[in-house]
């Protein structure tokens, strides 16, 4: 860990941010409390302290940030908002609508953020034309992680189409392993379904999950999506219910499972186990989705502060957006930088692919917020989708009924 921190500190020294000359403090509410995330955050803290900014830590444990948002509501209600808060997707939008967020336009304009942050991220980073948060990373969710030995035993070719995927899964099943390692939790089911829907066309994904078009949500193509989801369910073992995602990753790492459909945070599990991309495991986009990316992104949302704290807040935003920090942090996190101009030199093969895919999808207009991870639609809609997808995955709804129910519940959730 010490070596990791030294490496990150050295990288941050290259950021080129201008130190502020006033004694100031930032209070930061976040849920990065363990592992590489905490190590990277500690480097950001030290970087700011070297520039005269004191870091007041407010950690709130809880992987998805729900507990942090509860703590934040109490602080804002009490008229004592922190300087900065780790936040995701529509949570940022919701706070912006309440008129309590800060203004980063001064720094964003000086550093040219508009030119290097994908428009799909800016949809959350900005409100009414004003930068209100600094994105620290991009996770993409339409990945498949495959055990290399299991793939070789199943023919050796990574699947690029739905039919090829089914053929590989069938071969893995015949070889006596669990073809698809999966955990039966609503968000995991929805993560798989995100990939299935995207594989039927980027335009279809946008119509269904971004535009919430009733015809797309309840139409024949969505029936096909649920049919494919049911097919994938047939490759999951009987003990999947309630399994955490990292335990499903472990199945693939150990060769007990053939593949896992999961976001790029799964790569960290492979790397921690000493596995090497291309040698021990293979990373591919969900077959049929190459060229398009579904994402979620961690950001540090800034709240309104007095003039005495404004300079510190802007320095924090500048440090987060420094290319050196974006590289150093994301090498550890498994994600890719939120800026498209960061060098890929420090990243492994899967990281390099992730960065190239993000740039390609952003340029072509095929970069979409993930429904499963709260970046496509507000929480009420997401939760309604969860309910239908999990019911379908567990065989409680046939594909036609699931598509009809999906259109119905989304319409109700939008009201």
Write out pLDDT tens, residues 278-291: 999 999 999 999 99
Tens-place pLDDT, residues 181-194: 999 999 999 999 99
Sequence spans of domains, the chain? 2-139+297-354, 141-294+371-414
What CA–CA distance (Å, rounded) separates 165 from 228?
A: 11
Residues 228-241, mean pLDDT to the nearest whole number: 97
Phi, psi of 197 (to 5 degrees): -65, -45
What CA–CA distance (Å, rounded) separates 144 from 201?
A: 18
Crossing angle of the two packed helices 220-233 and 162-174, in degrees rounded to 10: 20
pLDDT for 71 beyond 70: yes
pLDDT for 66 beyond 80: no
> According to the model, what pLDDT value does residue 35 have?
64
Residues 47-58, mean pLDDT to the nearest whole number: 91
> According to the model, what pLDDT value does residue 338 have?
96
Tens-place pLDDT, residues 124-153: 999 999 999 999 999 999 999 999 999 999
pLDDT for 336 beyond 50: yes
Contact 24, 309 (CB under 8 A): yes
Tens-place pLDDT, residues 381-390: 999 999 999 9
Residues 306-331, mean pLDDT to the nearest whole number: 91
pLDDT for 21 beyond 70: no
> Residue 36's pLDDT band (boundaries 50, 70, 90)?
low
Tell me if the pTM is above 0.75.
Answer: yes
Q: Based on DSSP, count helices (H) and strands (E) in the chain, helices before strands.
A: 20, 14
Residues 217-237, mean pLDDT to the nearest whole number: 98
> According to the model, what pLDDT value does residue 172 have?
98
CB atoms under 10 Å from CB of 95, counted, come to 23
| CATH superfamily of this structure's domain 141-294+371-414 | Periplasmic binding protein-like II (3.40.190.10)
Taking only Cα atoms into account, the Rg of the chain, rounded to an integer number of angstroms, comes to 21
> Residue 41's pLDDT band (boundaries 50, 70, 90)?
confident
CATH 3.40.190.10 fits 2-139+297-354, yes or no: yes
> According to the model, what pLDDT value does residue 10 have?
47
- One-character DSSP codes across 343-374: --TTS-HHHHHHHHHHHHHHHHT-EEE-TTTT
Which of 192-206, 213-227, 296-310 is the least confident region?
Answer: 296-310
The answer to whether the 2-139+297-354 and 141-294+371-414 domains have the same CATH topology is yes
> According to the model, what pLDDT value does residue 11 have?
47
What CA–CA distance (Å, rounded) separates 76 from 95?
A: 10
């Amino acid at each position: 860990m010490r070596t990791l921190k030294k490496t990150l500190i050295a990288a941050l020294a290259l950021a080129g941010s201008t130190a502020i000359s006033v004694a100031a403090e930032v209070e930061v509410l976040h849920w990065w409390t363990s592992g590489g995330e905490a190590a990277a955050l500690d480097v950001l803290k030290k970087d700011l302290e070297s520039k005269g900014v004191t870091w007041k830590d407010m950690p709130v444990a809880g992987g998805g940030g729900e507990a942090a948002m509860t703590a934040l509501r109490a602080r804002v209600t009490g008229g004592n908002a922190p300087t900065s808060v780790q936040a995701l997707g529509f949570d940022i939008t919701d706070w912006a609508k309440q008129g309590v967020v800060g203004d980063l336009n001064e720094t964003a304009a000086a550093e040219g953020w508009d030119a290097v942050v994908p428009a799909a991220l800016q949809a959350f980073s900005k409100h009414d034309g004003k930068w209100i948060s600094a994105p620290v990373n991009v996770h993409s969710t339409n990945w498949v992680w495959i055990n290399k030995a299991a793939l070789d035993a199943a023919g050796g070719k990574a699947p690029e189409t739905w039919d090829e995927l089914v053929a590989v899964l069938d071969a893995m099943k015949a070889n006596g392993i669990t073809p698809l390692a999966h955990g039966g939790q609503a968000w995991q089911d929805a993560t798989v379904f995100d990939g299935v829907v995207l594989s039927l066309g980027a335009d279809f994904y946008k119509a269904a999950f971004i535009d919430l078009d009733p015809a797309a949500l309840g139409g024949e193509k969505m029936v096909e999506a649920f049919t494919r989801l049911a097919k994938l369910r047939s490759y999951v073992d009987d003990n999947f219910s309630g399994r955490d995602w990292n335990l499903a990753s472990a199945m693939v790492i150990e060769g007990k499972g053939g593949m896992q459909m999961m976001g790029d945070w799964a790569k960290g599990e492979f790397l921690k186990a000493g596995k090497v991309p291309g040698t021990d495991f293979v990373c591919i986009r969900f077959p049929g989705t190459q060229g398009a990316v579904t994402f979620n992104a961690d950001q540090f949302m800034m709240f309104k502060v007095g003039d005495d704290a404004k300079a510190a807040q802007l320095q924090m935003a500048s440090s987060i957006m420094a290319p050196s920090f974006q590289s150093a942090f994301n090498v550890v996190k498994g994600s890719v930088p939120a800026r498209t101009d960061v060098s890929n030199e420090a990243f492994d093969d899967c990281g390099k692919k992730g960065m190239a895919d993000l740039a390609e999808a952003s340029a072509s207009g095929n970069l979409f917020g993930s429904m499963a991870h709260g970046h496509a639609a507000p929480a009420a809609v997401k939760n309604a989708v969860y309910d239908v997808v999990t019911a379908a995955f567990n065989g409680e709804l046939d594909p036609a009924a699931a598509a009809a129910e999906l259109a119905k519940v989304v319409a109700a959730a939008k009201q």
